[in-house]
Amino acid sequence: MARQRLNYPSGDKRSERVRGFDAEAYYSALAQIVRAQKISWRQVARETGITPSTLTRMAQGRRPDAASLAVLSAWAGLNPADFVDNPRYVAETTTDHSARDPLHAISGVLRSDPNLPPEAARALEDIIHVAYDELKRTPA
């Protein structure tokens, strides 16, 4: 049986959320990183190997292909799963990851901060881990 394609009018943002991925929010986060690093989109294209036309399409609200999403996510330190707005998936991942291991979530945020050099992010992670371990043992 062939898959049925959902066709929305051109420019309708619902077509970009069919599979739960919020391409607009992802691009916004990516754009924030580009601004913080004070580099051009052309430089992003050179550093990642992603074509400028793909970046332009993303700016227009289109989803990137899987390979482009992976490369951009690695370059920017973004987790694509953070941009999935399927309530069931979000609830499951929040329960499985964030709630069970908040330090993992904090570490991800620190590593993805373009204002922190990697060694500073690691130092902050170490400080937070030590404080967390100490304080969780302390009775309230």
pLDDT of the residue at 9: 42
pLDDT of the residue at 136: 81
From residue 4, how far is each of 48, 65, 110, 132 by CA, in Å? Answer: 33, 19, 41, 49
Q: Residue 74's closest CA among 21, 40, 111?
A: 111
pTM, 2 dp: 0.54
Task: Quote the tokens at residue 124.
Answer: 């902050």
Domain ranges of the chain: 20-87, 101-140
Q: 20-87: what fold?
A: 434 Repressor (Amino-terminal Domain) (1.10.260)
Please report where in the chains the tokens 């100490």 appear, as a residue. Answer: 134
> What pLDDT band is residue 10 in, cutting at 50, 70 and 90?
very low
| Mean pLDDT value across the chain | 76
> What pLDDT band is residue 65 in, cutting at 50, 70 and 90?
very high
pLDDT, tens digit (0-9, with 9 covering 90-100), for 71-81: 999 998 888 88
Task: Quote the tokens at residue 52.
Answer: 């400028």
Identify residue 73 by its one-letter amino acid code: S
